[in-house]
């Protein structure tokens, strides 16, 4: 019986709502024969559209007079819809999706060609299904939910800014002040949820995030809101983004004021609902402004044109007692009516008809009283929608034009800072230039570039809550009584770095002292609790330890944690406080010098080139001295011995042959300089090698270790195991895990033949402590083959990681970091071994050999040039020519062999003899002449 009564009441309500609320237009009667209630009209005299919104709301009270003014202006225009009366049917949704749907059905029964509204995104979602079915464009000046732009709602046209852009503007603002976490406070409806979802996506692009989504139901009581704010006040973030509707937002600030959440250290960012509220007041009262001191709000950017000023002045002069002032939504509402009128005018001019037809899918069944059959489809709806989306004109709100995704072009926002008795603009945001103190319409005229965009990213100063002028840190430690949970590896070896202790902290070591010293440099206290990780019987797995932080089981890790790639993907590290890298450690073996150690200083190539140059220079000097110096003459056997003796005696500067030619002396001087350099380098290298050979090992570095098949020791829990197997492709069977320092010493001393290891691969800080503790009985061979460091690990986007990085740098610059190092790790230093580095190669001396070779070539060139000149002047002695030879004979060409032989004989003669013959020949020619 009760259910029957409820059903009857619902039907009565539906029938009552079916009665039209109000029709506004020219004075023609509503049921005029010229109205569009007729089936077809090529050029009707009356066209109706609907206006669907909540009239008793902040936006509705401003939008209503704007819509009425727009209808009046359109009907007064002679260029838009001439001869046609534009009528509007007003419907009040009362902010209810059910009532909004019913009102929309009533509008559709009146054959409207378009609907302006609604304000609520939730109602727009429902009504969009109705207009999709009836092909009636829905022009909403208040529904800002980003998801309404989806392909699911083709007939939904947003005539205001999409919240998608506003959320990206807020993300840019948050990133400008380098905050990494925000808390979103919003009403749990379509507009709130979807807007905050887009904000989360925008924040993630800036490597920031929404740490908590604080949602409350649309009908939340003051107690519900107070409980919610108390909950978020216990959290870490102090940056709040408030995304609510204009009719209930001020109540949240009032409660926050009572909870002391509007004091210094807090950041409140309000979306465009707050400027809409303030614009609706002519002069906001003092109490309201006191609630909002320091709040940052985003406001639709609307160019301050003469058209806008004239309209607002005219509207304010005609306002009624209920309308106090107008917000930006009034301008969008005005432009929405003009958009519909201009599009309809263009549609009709292109030959479009206003006609409606019955939809066979809409019929009443089973005795339904909803009268669905009275709803008719706008036949020209698809073409009219296309015309609307193609419109481009300048309205009160700016340029009215749509992009490919049906959003208004050139979205932009003013960023306001509320303080004193009003608000002041601290900058702008647009999707063209980002944050800027220059108006977007000015920047749109300039061609964007990376340099200009970067230079524009600035804002004016802000007065934050509590009248603070310094930028808030944006976070505090939670006030829920829980200190920072810091995991500390419970090591069983190398306890100088970190270890369990009986002191009040429960831990001690080098890493702990560095962490505590860094915390002391922070400007705020950090409550903390150290928690040991590991069973104390073996070193814990550091990869697992870092994973525990990523899974929120710990807040941080303090210890000897190496910064490696796979760990940085899941946690944030501080600045390294200890440099580190993997090295190879081998045992020191006393080894006798080899009988052939004297050959080690030079490489094979160096020996061959040096020996060749000794012979080459000796030969060059012999050639240059042979005609002048008696010491370089004699039998062939004697001359060959002289060349060899002279060549190698220069090595010790003990050559007894003197040089008399200028060219020979030049070559010898240069060669002796080269010999001096080679001798000095050889001596130094041999001395170094003979000393280092006492610390030799079969393993010379990581390359020789990889190529061998011997076992390799690593520290338990170290990342070295994964690195050797995955990156260096070393067989897992070769890896031997060593639990503590005693295992290191035992395995290295026994060696691979006795069940030990050939070498240990570990990080440099551990190895330095190891070698120092055993008086350098082990040594490092080769160089570090990885470069990394130790840092403190925190959860992703933790602000402590940034602050502690700065503190670690301060410790390093002040020298305190070195003092802590000396306190725990000031041990004896041991030398490293790199046998290959002491060998001298040709690359170090080729310049000297090149100079010497060039000098030799130049000297030989000059020498042979002189020889050929003399040879051309040389001829046989006249007194040795008899009368028979004077008789003419047939000349015969000398053979090539005979000419070369004569030349060689000429070259072999003494210089003095040649000069004497040349003088005699000259005298004889003079006497004959």
Q: Which residue has the tokens 């990869």?
A: 543
Q: How many residues in total does the chain contain?
A: 929
Q: What pLDDT score was predicted for residue 883? A: 41
Mean pLDDT of 668-695: 71
Cross-strand bridge partners of residue 657: none
Q: Which residue has the tokens 């699911």?
A: 152
Q: What pLDDT score was predicted for residue 895? A: 54
Can you say whether residue 450 is alpha, beta or left, with left for phi > 0 and alpha for psi between -120 and 50 degrees?
alpha
Residue 415 above 60 pLDDT? yes
pLDDT bracket for residue 867 (50, 70, 90): confident
Q: State yes or no: cis peptide before 118, omega within 30 of 0.
A: yes
Cross-strand bridge partners of residue 215: 186
pTM for this prediction = 0.68
Residue 369 above 80 pLDDT? no
Q: What pLDDT score was predicted for residue 7? A: 38
Considering only residues 346 and 894, tell me which one the structure prediction assigns the higher pLDDT. Answer: 346
What DSSP string describes 90-106?
EEE-TT-HHHHHHHHHH
Environment class of 27 (CB within 10 Å of its CB; exposed 0-12, middle 13-18, buried 19+): exposed
Q: What pLDDT score was predicted for residue 846? A: 77
Q: What pLDDT score was predicted for residue 108? A: 82
pLDDT bracket for residue 321 (50, 70, 90): very low
pLDDT bracket for residue 878 (50, 70, 90): very low
Mean pLDDT of 427-441: 91
Q: What pLDDT score was predicted for residue 836? A: 52
Residue 319 above 70 pLDDT? no
Among the residue ranges 237-246, 358-367, 688-697, 911-920, the one predicted with the least confidence is: 688-697
Max mean pLDDT among 145-149, 267-271, 360-364, 898-902 falls in 267-271
Task: State pLDDT tens for residues 177-212.
Answer: 989 899 999 999 999 999 999 999 999 999 889 999
Residues whose CB falls within 8 Å of the CB of residue 536, separated by 6 or more in sequence, listed in order: 490, 492, 500
What's the distance, Cα to Cα, between the start and end of the chain in Å? Answer: 162
Mean pLDDT of 859-863: 80
Mean pLDDT of 612-630: 74
Mean pLDDT of 238-252: 92
Residue 812 above 90 pLDDT? yes
Q: How far is Cα 835 from Cα 688, in angstroms, rounded to an integer?
A: 9
Residue 402 above 80 pLDDT? yes
**Residue 574: Cβ within 10 Å count:** 28
Task: State pLDDT tens for residues 74-87.
Answer: 999 999 999 899 99
Q: What pLDDT score was predicted for residue 103? A: 80
Using DSSP's 3-state secondary structure scheme, residue 580 falls into strand
Task: State pLDDT tens for residues 494-545.
Answer: 999 999 998 888 999 999 999 999 999 988 888 899 999 998 888 999 999 9
Q: How far is Cα 819 from Cα 814, in angstroms, rounded to an integer?
A: 10
Mean pLDDT of 115-124: 89
User: Angle of helix 741-750 relative to helix 764-773, nearest 10 degrees?
Assistant: 70
pLDDT bracket for residue 816 (50, 70, 90): very high
- Percent of the chain surpassing pLDDT 90: 42
Q: What pLDDT score was predicted for residue 858? A: 85
Q: What pLDDT score was predicted for residue 33? A: 32
The percent helix, strand, coil of the chain (3-state, each to 5) is: 45, 15, 35
- Percent of the chain surpassing pLDDT 70: 79
Q: What angle do CA 267, 299, 462 make, to 5 degrees?
A: 40
The pair of structure tokens assigned to 671 is 């060669």
Residue 838 above 70 pLDDT? no
Q: What pLDDT score was predicted for residue 578? A: 93
What DSSP string describes 418-473?
EETTEEEEEEEEETTTEEESS-HHHHHTSPP-HHHHHHH-------BGGGB-SPP-
Mean pLDDT of 813-824: 92
Closest of 197, 211, 192, 125 to residue 168, by C-alpha: 197
Max mean pLDDT among 127-131, 481-485, 780-784, 915-919 falls in 127-131
Residue 95 above 90 pLDDT? no
Q: What pLDDT score was predicted for residue 888? A: 44
Environment class of 738 (CB within 10 Å of its CB; exposed 0-12, middle 13-18, buried 19+): buried
Residue 638 above 60 pLDDT? yes
Max mean pLDDT among 49-53, 192-196, 315-319 falls in 192-196
What DSSP string describes 665-725?
HHHHHHHHHHHHHHHHHHHHHHHHHHHHGGGB-S--SHHHHHHS-S-EEEETT-THHHIII
Report strand pairing: 793-794 vs 556-557: antiparallel
Q: What pLDDT score was predicted for residue 258? A: 93
Calculate the average pLDDT of the chain: 82
Q: How many CA atoms lie within 13 A of 450 on its CB side?
A: 0
Considering only residues 599 and 434, tell me which one the structure prediction assigns the higher pLDDT. Answer: 434
Q: How far is Cα 573 from Cα 799, in angstroms, rounded to an integer?
A: 11
Residue ranges of domains in the chain, CATH in brackets: 44-159+306-398 (3.40.50.2300), 161-301+409-454 (3.40.50.2300), 482-576 (3.40.190.10), 595-689 (no CATH), 694-786 (3.40.190.10)
Q: What pLDDT score was predicted for residue 612? A: 83
Residue 667 above 80 pLDDT? no
């Amino acid at each position: 019986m009760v259910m029957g009564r409820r059903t009857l009441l619902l039907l009565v309500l539906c029938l009552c709502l079916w009665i039209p609320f109000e029709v506004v237009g020219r004075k023609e009667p509503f049921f005029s024969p010229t109205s569009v209630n007729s089936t077809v009209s090529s050029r009707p005299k009356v066209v109706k559209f609907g206006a669907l919104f909540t009239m008793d709301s902040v936006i509705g009270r401003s939008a209503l007079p704007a819509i009425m003014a727009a209808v009046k202006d359109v009907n007064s225009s002679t260029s838009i819809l001439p001869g046609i009366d534009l009528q509007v049917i007003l419907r009040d949704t009362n902010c209810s999706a059910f009532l909004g749907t019913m009102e929309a059905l009533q509008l559709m029964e009146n054959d409207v060609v378009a609907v302006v509204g609604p304000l609520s995104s939730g109602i727009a979602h429902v009504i969009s299904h109705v207009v999709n079915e009836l092909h009636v464009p829905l022009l909403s000046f208040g529904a800002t939910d980003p998801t309404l732009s989806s392909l699911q709602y083709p007939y939904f046209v947003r005539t205001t800014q999409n919240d998608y852009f506003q959320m990206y503007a807020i993300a840019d603002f948050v990133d400008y002040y380098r905050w990494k976490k925000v808390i979103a406070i919003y009403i749990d409806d379509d507009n709130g949820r979807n807007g905050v979802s887009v904000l989360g996506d925008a924040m993630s692009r800036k490597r920031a995030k929404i740490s908590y989504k604080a949602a409350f139901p649309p009908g939340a009581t003051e107690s519900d809101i107070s409980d919610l704010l108390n909950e978020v006040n216990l959290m870490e973030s102090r940056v709040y983004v408030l995304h609510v509707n204009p009719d209930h937002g001020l109540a949240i600030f009032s409660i926050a004021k009572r909870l002391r959440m509007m004091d210094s250290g807090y950041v409140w960012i309000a979306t465009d609902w707050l400027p809409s509220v303030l614009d609706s007041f002519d002069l906001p009262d003092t109490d309201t402004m006191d609630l909002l001191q320091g709040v940052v709000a985003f406001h639709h950017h609307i160019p301050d044109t003469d058209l806008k000023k004239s309209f607002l002045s005219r509207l304010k002069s005609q306002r009624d007692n209920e309308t106090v002032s107008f917000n930006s939504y009034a301008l969008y509402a005005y432009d929405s009516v003009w958009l519909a009128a201009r599009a309809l005018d263009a549609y009709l001019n292109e030959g479009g008809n206003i006609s409606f037809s019955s939809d066979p899918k809409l019929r009443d069944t089973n005795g339904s009283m909803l009268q669905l059959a009275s709803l008719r489809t706008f036949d020209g709806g698809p073409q009219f929608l296309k015309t609307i989306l193609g419109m481009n004109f300048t309205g009160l709100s700016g340029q009215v034009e749509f992009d490919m995704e049906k959003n208004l072009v050139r979205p932009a926002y003013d960023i306001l800072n509320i303080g004193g008795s009003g608000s002041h603009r601290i900058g702008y945001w647009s999707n063209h230039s980002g944050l800027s103190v220059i108006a977007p319409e000015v920047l749109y005229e300039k061609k964007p570039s990376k340099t200009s965009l970067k230079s524009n990213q600035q804002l004016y100063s802000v007065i934050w809550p509590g009248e603070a002028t310094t930028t808030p840190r944006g976070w505090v430690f939670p006030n829920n009584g829980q200190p920072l949970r810091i995991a500390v590896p419970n090591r069983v070896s190398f306890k100088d770095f970190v270890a369990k202790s009986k002191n009040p902290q429960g831990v001690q070591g080098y890493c702990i002292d560095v962490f505590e010293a860094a915390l002391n440099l922070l400007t705020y206290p950090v409550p903390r609790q150290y928690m040991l990780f590991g069973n104390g019987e073996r070193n814990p797995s550091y990869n697992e330890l870092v994973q525990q932080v990523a899974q929120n089981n710990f807040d941080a890790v303090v210890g000897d944690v190496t910064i490696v790639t796979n760990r940085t993907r899941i946690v944030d590290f501080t600045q390294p406080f200890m440099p580190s890298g993997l090295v190879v450690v081998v045992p020191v073996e006393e080894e006798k010098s080899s009988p052939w150690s004297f050959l080690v200083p030079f490489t094979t190539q160096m020996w061959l080139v040096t020996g060749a140059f000794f012979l080459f220079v000796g030969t060059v000097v012999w050639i240059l001295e042979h005609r002048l110096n008696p010491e370089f003459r004699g039998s062939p056997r004697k001359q060959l011995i002289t060349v060899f003796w002279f060549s190698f005696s220069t090595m010790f500067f003990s050559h007894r042959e003197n040089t008399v030619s200028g060219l020979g002396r030049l070559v010898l001087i240069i060669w002796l300089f080269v010999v001096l350099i080679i001798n000095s380098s050889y001596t130094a290298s041999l001395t170094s090698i003979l000393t280092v050979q006492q610390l030799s090992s079969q393993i010379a570095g990581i390359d020789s270790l990889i190529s061998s098949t011997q076992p390799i020791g690593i520290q338990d829990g170290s990342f070295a195991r994964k690195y050797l197997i995955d990156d260096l492709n070393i067989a897992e069977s070769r890896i031997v895990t060593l639990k503590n320092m005693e295992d290191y010493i035992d395995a290295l001393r026994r060696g691979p033949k006795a069940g030990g290891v050939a070498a240990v691969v570990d990080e440099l800080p551990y190895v330095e402590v190891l070698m120092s503790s055993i008086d350098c009985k082990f040594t490092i061979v080769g160089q570090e083959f990885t470069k990394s460091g130790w840092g403190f690990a925190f959860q992703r986007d933790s602000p402590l990681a940034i602050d502690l990085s700065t503190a670690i740098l301060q410790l390093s610059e002040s020298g305190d970091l070195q003092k802590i190092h000396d306190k725990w790790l000031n041990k004896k230093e041991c030398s490293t071994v790199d046998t290959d580095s002491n060998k001298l190669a040709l690359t170090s001396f080729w310049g000297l050999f090149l100079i010497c070779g060039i000098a030799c070539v130049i000297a030989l060139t000059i020498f042979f040039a002189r020889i050929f000149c003399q040879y051309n002047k040389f001829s046989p002695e006249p007194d040795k020519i008899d009368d028979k030879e004077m008789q003419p004979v047939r000349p015969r060409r000398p053979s090539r062999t005979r000419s070369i032989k004569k030349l060689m004989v000429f070259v072999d003669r003494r210089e003095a003899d040649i000069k004497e013959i040349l003088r005699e020949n000259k005298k004889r020619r003079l006497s004959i002449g």
